[in-house]
Structure 1
Amino acid sequence: MIWVLLAQYQIPISSISVEPKGGGRSCIERERDALLSFKASIEDPSDVLSSWQIGQDCCRWRGVVCSNRTGHVVKLDLHNNFTDDIYDYNIDMINYNFRTLGGEINPSLLAIEHLNYLDLSYNDFGRKRIPEFIGSFKNLKYLDLSDAGFGGSIPPQLGNLTKLLHLDLSSNSLESVDYIDWLPRLSSLKYLDMSEVNLSVAVDRVQVMSMLPASLRVLYLFDCNLNVTFSSLPLYSSNLTSLVSLGLGDNYFHGPIPDGLLGNMTSLKQLFLGGNDLIGMVPRTLKNLCNLKELMLWDNQINGDIAELMKRLPPKIEELDLSGNNLTGSLPSWLEHMASLSFLDLGYNSLSGHIPCGIGKLTNLSILDLSFNHLVGIISKDHFASLTRLKMLYLSDNNNLTMVVGPNWLPPFKLKYVGLSSCNLGPHFPTWIRSQTDIIDLIMSNTGIDDRLPDWFWNVISSVEYLDLSLNQISGVLPLTLEFLSVASEINLNSNQFHGGVPKLPTSLQVLDLSNNSITGTIPLSMCNQVQSLRILDLSHNRLSGQLLQCLTSRKSFRADPGDLTPIASELSIVSFRNNSLSGEFPLFFRDCQYLNFLDLSYNKFYGSLSIWIGKRLPQLAFLLLRSNMFSGYIPIQLAKLDYLHVLDLAHNNLSGTIAPSLVNFTAMTTVSSYGSYYVPDFISLLVVTKGQALEYYTKTIMSLMSSLDLSGNRLTGKIPQEIGGLAILKNLNLSANRLTGDIPETIGGLQSLESLDLSNNELYGEIPPTLSALTFLSYLNLSHNNLSGRIPSGQQLQTFDDPSIYEGNNNLCGPPISKNCSGGDGTTLDDPLELEDGNEMSSFYLSMSLGFAVGLWVVIGPLLFKRTWCATYFLFIDNICDKIYVFMVLNWARVIANIKKK
């Protein structure tokens, strides 16, 4: 987290000193040769070490510092220069990645015996191990290997660096760390950061905590997978009395915070315990840490009354982060007396009641976050009376919070970050925003504004990076260009009443959402300049028309044919043009969008065949929605190559041909583990017609739970492939309103996760397979208007479908829930036992056979009724052969009936 990183620079290691080279003494030759050997083994794609040349004074090389007194190299600082702004939104990440060093670290460096400072941070050494020979630099005082791409274990030889004052191994891929018993040998250590070093298998991790050097002033072990009960940490028995900053966040610690855990760490100024699973109230002994200024407990399960917790805080507290816990109650009125408070984050709790006006007296407050609670009431200008230093104000998602400040109010602050979503700011657009000319983030979605956007607005937010005015009723014409928002990365204006055309966009823009407005016209050619940076583009539910731009550049000349045209490379991952009037064939615009995972062109006027290159050129595609267009031709079998596709909607087009077996064998509809890696923001929706209705799904988590195949409303023919039974995690299958024939495959019972099945309005025949009753999650079924026959299966889930309309239009079906009864297991009914295609012929046959049997029986039985001796002789004969005759007649009768039915 950024606050952790800031904290690192608040603890200077003053004991580390390097004598800078300032005189005329040249570097020592053997050390220059050692550095040149080091350079020879290093990968340097951007020539960072270009100043390292033979015959030059190495003391003047980039990153090299020599002693002014002896000429020995004492400092080697090769950290990536772009790290100074790595958390700035405007950083050029391409150049940052390009300027990293890599390759092998040559042991020739050992010739630099007087080295006391080595920094290789923010490079990329390709998960190679940290060289063991680093432990031989006996004079080393400062070692920073953070975020340098090292992997494997940590060499225990680092324990030989007994003069080391500063050690940073954080943010690497160090995962095979079995022992850290070398740490206590660093007796002079003042700064230790091993964040993101996986210590889960280090058998001595708890014991070492009690033996760390007493000289330590900074200890950061963020995200180390320590995963123990918090009370088991031996901090109370350690000798870390000089500790100033302690970071143990994101470690899966669980249980309460014991009263005596922090022992006598009275020098502690910063305590980071966020991102764990701590429960209960903070201990009363916390108040004994009289020098504590920063307490970070974000994302735990701390519970209880907020007023009681704040009574237990140390008197000098300046920064408090309790966000993402289970705190309840109202903010205490005496909050105004915490005069030192500059940072207060209580977001994502269950706080209620009013915000006390006294909060406006916290003159040092620069960050206030009370978002995602249940706060109510009015916020007036008194709440901000003396907040002259306020830079961040987050009150979002307190749905009963209303801001009433008057149209002429001039705030005492200059905000950079504003989050007021779901607060009541309307109906008029808040005029106080006009004075906030330094805004970087402005989030005012769903705030009840029903007004025209003021003309001054776009000038005021010229430095904005994140803008969200969605879910209001804001009207007005969009500017022809937004290029003046030169650093904007995300603009979200969805669900308003904006009109006009799609404006020219800043080249920095990554996310644009203009959905659910009244935007008209075509998509401008200028959009081609944005596809290299845009990742998310949502223009759905507008009035756009015309063909999509192709964004093509010729390899040869303007005379080149289409085969010589190459699309501009794109970073697009999410595109939605749903519900417009766009037309044309499937857009070549997407041909080089190799990262595209969400594409929604549904409810437009696209036509022509589906491009076969979709399966090859869009390998990350997880959602493909082309419903309600005019696409025709076959469904290309190349779609089966989309390994991550788990929602395919081609419904209501003019597609024809058969359903190829490979098209019902999508990998991602077979197993959950096949879902790709993709990001879907909350404002993007997935529309799926399932269970007889259109349902919208939001956020990646919910979308990933939906797996759907909808080919309904086309002209598909042939049989449903048997292979469809392999789609074990498919939840929605809709093949209705086609011309499909044949049986419903028995394999349909393999759709174990199926919730909705619609095969209606086809030409399917035969019996309903009994395997359908095994679909235990099925909650919607429609088999109407086919030619199905026989008994409707019963048992398990099918018994819950008591609506006969789901079977209507199948005249040869019988059994519950329809009124037509069945005569037996063969599916024939009592009313008409001879329902076969040649029914009249079969009726005559059975009638003749029955009359013949009756006459024959009377000829044999009649005389016996009048002559007793004949009767006795006859029945004696019958007794001898009755078993054989009985068996013979029954078996042959069964064969006759079976043969008749087959014919």
Structure 2
Amino acid sequence: MKTIVATVNLTHLTLLLSFFALFHQHIIELCSADKLISVPCIETEKEALLAFKNSLIDPSNRLSSWVGEECCKWEGIGCSSNQTQGHGHVTKLNLRNPFSLVHNSGLDDPTSAYKRSCLSGNVSTSLTHLKYLNYLDLSMNDFQGNPIPNFFGEMVNLEYLNLSFASFSGLIPSSLGNLSKLQFLDLYADSYLNIGSWELRAENLNWISGLSSLKLFNLGYVKLNGVGETWLQKINLLPSLVSLNLYFCELNGLPVSLPFINFTSLSVLDLSQNSFNSPMPLWLFNLTSLRTLHLSWNFLQGSIPWEITNLKSLEVLDLSDNLGLEGHIPGFLGHLTKLKVLDLSANEFTGGIHELLNSVSNNNILQTLDLSSNSLDGVLPESLGKLKNLQHLLFSSNAFFGSIPESIGNISSLEVLDLSYNKMNGTIAKSFGQLSKLENANLLLNSWGGVLTKTHLSNLKSLKSLRITLDEPNSLVFEIPNKWLPPFRLNTLQILNCKVGPTFPMWIQVQTELISVTLRNVGISDTIPEQWFSSLAPQVTQLDLSKNQIEGKLPHQLKFPNLNSIDLSFNHFDGAFPHWSFNASQLSLESNSFSGPIPENIAELMPRLERLYLSHNHLSGQISQSLCDLHSLQVLSLRSNHFSGELPSCWGNSYMLWGFDVTNNNLSGLIPSSISSLRSLSVLMLGNNNFHGEIPASLQNCTGLTTIDLSMNNFIGKVPSWIEGRVLSSLFMLRLNSNKFSGFIPSTLCSLSNLHTLDLSENNFSEVIPTCLDNLTALVFSKSSEVFQNLVYVVLRGRVAEYSNFIGHVNSIDLSGNDLTGKIPDEITNISGLQSLNLLRNRISGRIPSNIGNLKRLETLDMSRNHLAGPIPQSITDMISLRHLNLSYNELEGRIPPLPQFNDATIFQGNPLLCGHPLPTICKHT
């Protein structure tokens, strides 16, 4: 699904622009009075304006000019000068907030600046004394949930009423239906910059029947879910309607038919983001004056009807984000010869696009073609190049393959090209370099091949963003002369899995305006050019140079005030820990050769850290207590370093921390009790250290734990009884192996209904295997482990070998290397989702359960070095997934069942009474 990124809905702006284009002359007439400042002011109307002013809160003093006798000179006031209306009457009141997000985008807190510029308070009834008022605009202010005044319905000369983005709430007063002269009514109810959560609604639309002059009607974000199914019939009574916006109104039903169409002048229709779940109704295609049609973000079904070709004037067609629209994209869309924007993204369209492109190839005015997020496939045809005026070509998230056609160079107006997330496995056309107006090239996540030369880039004078990443590394090679200078200055550069190195080429070094940089796994084995790095420091927000062989020490004197995300992992950097950015939220330095301690004042140097990845370095010393003061920290990974000493006992304020990994260090001591304060803790990995003592009871306070890995330490005692389903209902993996735990295996473990991995191996457990293990329902039913795997992936940062090893133990039970006795419980054969069962090196006796063959998903079975007796059950041949088997050194007897996948005799050796293949002992016939 596409993400809506604009704070002010673009559809709303489109509608306003359409309206102003249609009624430009009328607006000029309404506004012209502003310039007639010599017109004298009517005293009673001046008093009404002052009363209105006194009812408002004006923190930015926008109404400071409202003093003196001549109210017609006041800011936002327009007065009449013609004989019909009489001299000096107030006809216009324009108090629209002039705040512009575009002009204030550089502010640290634009929301606060906007609030300060807003008028708020109450709307005084004194406005009713302005008998000649025909224009009222209170938009973009903040009336903080006040209702729309009922007395607005008394202002019967109003032709223009704009209350959009003004934070009114409650019911729309039906008295607005008295405004028979009204031509422009904008009640768009979303709050600007999300400063409030006010809700404007209507229980019915009966009141609009009196708005016979209405031309623009905007109810965007007004809740209409209670108006019933007759809403369309009510709107159809507006004969002059030209523009209608019902965006995000929670309408449920789109009528299938409309007996007659009264609003035949309708030019702009927006019904997007509602809950329509039917095919496109045919009455829509009788609106032959339509120029803009938005039906996006609904649940429309079926194919695009032929009747859409009736809309000969259509310029904008947006059917995006319906998901139910399907079939081939029809070629008859080419009959819409005035089409400028065609957006069919985020649906279920299938097949190729040859028919569509052939039909629209003669359309010289098409500017935007968005087919992204469908199931389209095939190669991109050469006819694509006939769309010479195309500015936005968006084909991402489909299954297109092959090369970019050479004809792409003919699209001389192209500004945005997005072919990301496809299966493009050919070459990038050299004519790509002719696109002199191209600003954004997104070629992410394909399988591009061949070479990319300076010809591909030589004329891209307008390029600001270049993103090329591959599914598999090194199939695309940059063969650009090292000293070649490009004609563009990028703000975004993202190259992944391509061959760019071994040095930092000059065409990258001259990109000194970069805000976002990703050069991941591009074969660079150079040092970082200091001058280039210095040029990035003031503005760069994201820096990823991971998975190269970049070497050397990092300059500590540089400061990166805006750098939010730093990833230098999997390189050959050495030296001390760098701390460049006060604002960094993610720092990834794993798999380098950084040494020394973590700075004692890291919380002062980088106070906004959320994720800190330092694994697989040579860092040493004690773990800094300052880490506890990183109150936003979510993931801490210190795995595989040389840290020593005890864990700090200061975690009480680390409320956000959910991933904690200190595996494979030289840490010792007890688990600090303050760990139990980490109420968000989900992944706890303390393996391969020298921790000792018992598992602290306070750890049961961390009820969200999914992973507990305490393996390869010196923990003692019994498994706590609180490790059970009512306390740790989300526990997915429990690894207590290679410690000194003792006693029996508690049956409370059987209540861990989400447990997929139980590893108690290499301890001193005794007595029998619990008979209740088949209560581990996640293992029985092999429930999805995706959430857990994603959490572990984040903590391990996708380290393939370690992640695979860790996840390789999913759906497993390992009780090996203990002192368990008794028999194997029959109930264990009910755990049908089990993939690995290891009972090696215990003192288990009795027979192998006869129903062992029920474990059809089992891949690994090791029961060696026990005292098992009797025959190997015949049902073992039903274990179709079995790949690893070891039954050696038991007291088994009889013929080995036929297991053609196993030819290694050692897996059965040490059982003197066994016979048959693959053992050399031949069975005697009886």
TM-score class, shorter-chain normalisation, is 0.7 to 0.9
Indicate whether 1:785 and 2:841 are aligned.
yes
| The one of 341, 357, 363 aligned to 1:270 | 341
What is the CA-CA distance between 1:440 and the residue it aligns to?
A: 1.5
Distance 1:831 1:470, change over 3 A: closer
Question: Where does structure 2 lack aligned partners over 5 or more consecutive residues?
Answer: 81-88, 119-141, 257-275, 780-810, 873-886, 895-910, 914-926
What is the CA-CA distance between 1:286 and the residue it aligns to?
A: 3.1
What amino acid is the match of 1:806? Answer: D
What is the CA-CA distance between 1:496 and the residue it aligns to?
A: 0.3
Determine the structure 2 residue equivalent to 1:328. 401
Alignment of 1:605-624 (within 5 A): 605-615=666-676, 617-624=677-684
| The one of 617, 622, 641 aligned to 1:542 | 617
What is the CA-CA distance between 1:446 and the residue it aligns to?
A: 0.5
Q: Deviations over 1:830-871 (max 9, x none)?
A: 999xxxxxxxxxxxxxxxxxxxxxxxxxxxxxxxxxxxxxxx
| The one of 611, 618, 632 aligned to 1:571 | 632
Distance 1:167 1:551, change over 3 A: farther
In the alignment, is the contact (CA less than 8 A) between 2:203 and 2:227 conserved in 1?
no
| The one of 188, 198, 202 aligned to 1:144 | 188
| The one of 340, 351, 375 aligned to 1:280 | 351
Determine the structure 2 residue equivalent to 1:306. 380
In the alignment, is the contact (CA less than 8 A) between 2:581 and 2:606 conserved in 1?
no
How many residues align structurally? 757
| The one of 371, 382, 388 aligned to 1:297 | 371
C-alpha distance in structure 2 between counterparts of 1:262 and 1:529, whole Å:
60
What amino acid is the match of 2:509? Answer: R
In the alignment, is the contact (CA less than 8 A) between 1:665 and 1:727 conserved in 2?
yes
Residue aligned with 2:469, SS: coil
What is the CA-CA distance between 1:322 and the residue it aligns to?
A: 0.7
In the alignment, is the contact (CA less than 8 A) between 2:388 and 2:410 conserved in 1?
no
What is the CA-CA distance between 1:210 and the residue it aligns to?
A: 0.9
Indicate whether 1:662 and 2:722 are aligned.
yes
Determine the structure 1 residue equivalent to 2:439. 366
What is the CA-CA distance between 1:753 and the residue it aligns to?
A: 3.4
In the alignment, is the contact (CA less than 8 A) between 1:631 and 1:654 conserved in 2?
yes
Distance 1:805 1:487, change over 3 A: closer
Residue aligned with 1:529, SS: helix
Residue aligned with 1:627, SS: coil
Determine the structure 2 residue equivalent to 1:229. 302
| The one of 758, 765, 777 aligned to 1:740 | 765
Distance 1:422 1:780, change over 3 A: same
C-alpha distance in structure 2 between counterparts of 1:337 and 1:477, whole Å:
47
C-alpha distance in structure 2 between counterparts of 1:759 and 1:102, whole Å:
67
Residue aligned with 1:382, SS: helix
Indicate whether 1:465 and 2:514 are aligned.
no
Determine the structure 2 residue equivalent to 1:767. 823
In the alignment, is the contact (CA less than 8 A) between 2:719 and 2:746 conserved in 1?
yes
Residue aligned with 1:396, SS: strand
| The one of 471, 476, 483 aligned to 2:552 | 476
Determine the structure 2 residue equivalent to 1:252. 323
What amino acid is the match of 1:143? Answer: L
What amino acid is the match of 2:845? Answer: S
In the alignment, is the contact (CA less than 8 A) between 1:766 and 1:790 conserved in 2?
yes
Q: Deviations over 1:359-401 (max 9, x none)?
A: 2122222222223222211211111221111111122116411
Determine the structure 2 residue equivalent to 1:758. 814
In the alignment, is the contact (CA less than 8 A) between 1:75 and 1:117 conserved in 2?
no
Question: Where does structure 1 lack aligned partners over 5 or more consecutive residues?
Answer: 40-46, 553-566, 672-706, 824-829, 833-903
Q: Deviations over 1:488-534 (max 9, x none)?
A: 22111110011122222323222211111111122224421366432
Determine the structure 2 residue equivalent to 1:647. 707
In the alignment, is the contact (CA less than 8 A) between 1:178 and 1:203 conserved in 2?
no
TM-score relative to the length of structure 1: 0.73
In the alignment, is the contact (CA less than 8 A) between 2:334 and 2:359 conserved in 1?
no
| The one of 95, 108, 117 aligned to 2:149 | 108
C-alpha distance in structure 2 between counterparts of 1:442 and 1:532, whole Å:
23
C-alpha distance in structure 2 between counterparts of 1:656 and 1:132, whole Å:
73
Distance 1:569 1:355, change over 3 A: closer
Identity of aligned residues (%): 27
What amino acid is the match of 1:524? Answer: P
Indicate whether 1:396 and 2:469 are aligned.
yes
Distance 1:443 1:212, change over 3 A: farther
| The one of 414, 417, 430 aligned to 1:344 | 417
In the alignment, is the contact (CA less than 8 A) between 1:499 and 1:519 conserved in 2?
yes
What is the CA-CA distance between 1:36 and the residue it aligns to?
A: 7.1
In the alignment, is the contact (CA less than 8 A) between 1:494 and 1:517 conserved in 2?
yes
Distance 1:802 1:300, change over 3 A: closer
In the alignment, is the contact (CA less than 8 A) between 1:188 and 1:213 conserved in 2?
no
C-alpha distance in structure 1 between counterparts of 2:692 and 2:501, whole Å:
48
Distance 1:174 1:496, change over 3 A: farther
| The one of 719, 723, 741 aligned to 2:748 | 723
In the alignment, is the contact (CA less than 8 A) between 1:31 and 1:111 conserved in 2?
no
C-alpha distance in structure 1 between counterparts of 2:723 and 2:405, whole Å:
62
Distance 1:629 1:73, change over 3 A: farther
What is the CA-CA distance between 1:82 and the residue it aligns to?
A: 7.9
C-alpha distance in structure 1 between counterparts of 2:327 and 2:456, whole Å:
35
Alignment of 1:3-402 (within 5 A): 12-13=17-18, 14=20, 15=23, 17=27, 19=31, 65-69=76-80, 70-71=89-90, 74-75=93-94, 77=96, 83-84=101-102, 92=109, 104-108=145-149, 110-111=151-152, 113=155, 114=158, 116-118=160-162, 120-121=164-165, 131=172, 136=177, 138=179, 139=182, 140-146=184-190, 149=197, 155-157=203-205, 179=229, 180-181=231-232, 182=234, 184=236, 198=250, 205=276, 206-207=280-281, 210=284, 217-223=291-297, 225-231=298-304, 235-237=308-310, 239=311, 241-259=312-330, 262=333, 265-282=336-353, 283=356, 284-287=358-361, 289-307=363-381, 310=384, 314-397=387-470, 399-402=474-477
What amino acid is the match of 1:142? Answer: D
In the alignment, is the contact (CA less than 8 A) between 1:200 and 1:227 conserved in 2?
no
C-alpha distance in structure 1 between counterparts of 2:563 and 2:830, whole Å:
53
Determine the structure 2 residue equivalent to 1:519. 594
Q: Deviations over 1:214-256 (max 9, x none)?
A: 6655444432x3241232596445x5x5543333322213323
C-alpha distance in structure 1 between counterparts of 2:48 and 2:703, whole Å:
57
What amino acid is the match of 2:319? Answer: L
Q: Deviations over 1:644-691 (max 9, x none)?
A: 3222212223333322332132677559xxxxxxxxxxxxxxxxxxxx
In the alignment, is the contact (CA less than 8 A) between 2:406 and 2:429 conserved in 1?
yes
In the alignment, is the contact (CA less than 8 A) between 1:318 and 1:340 conserved in 2?
yes
Residue aligned with 1:433, SS: helix
In the alignment, is the contact (CA less than 8 A) between 1:281 and 1:303 conserved in 2?
yes
Residue aligned with 1:664, SS: coil
Distance 1:533 1:503, change over 3 A: same
In the alignment, is the contact (CA less than 8 A) between 1:752 and 1:776 conserved in 2?
no
C-alpha distance in structure 1 between counterparts of 2:166 and 2:576, whole Å:
44
Distance 1:544 1:670, change over 3 A: closer
What amino acid is the match of 1:581? Answer: H
In the alignment, is the contact (CA less than 8 A) between 1:217 and 1:242 conserved in 2?
yes
C-alpha distance in structure 2 between counterparts of 1:777 and 1:648, whole Å:
21
Distance 1:198 1:495, change over 3 A: farther
Distance 1:579 1:66, change over 3 A: farther
Residue aligned with 1:537, SS: strand
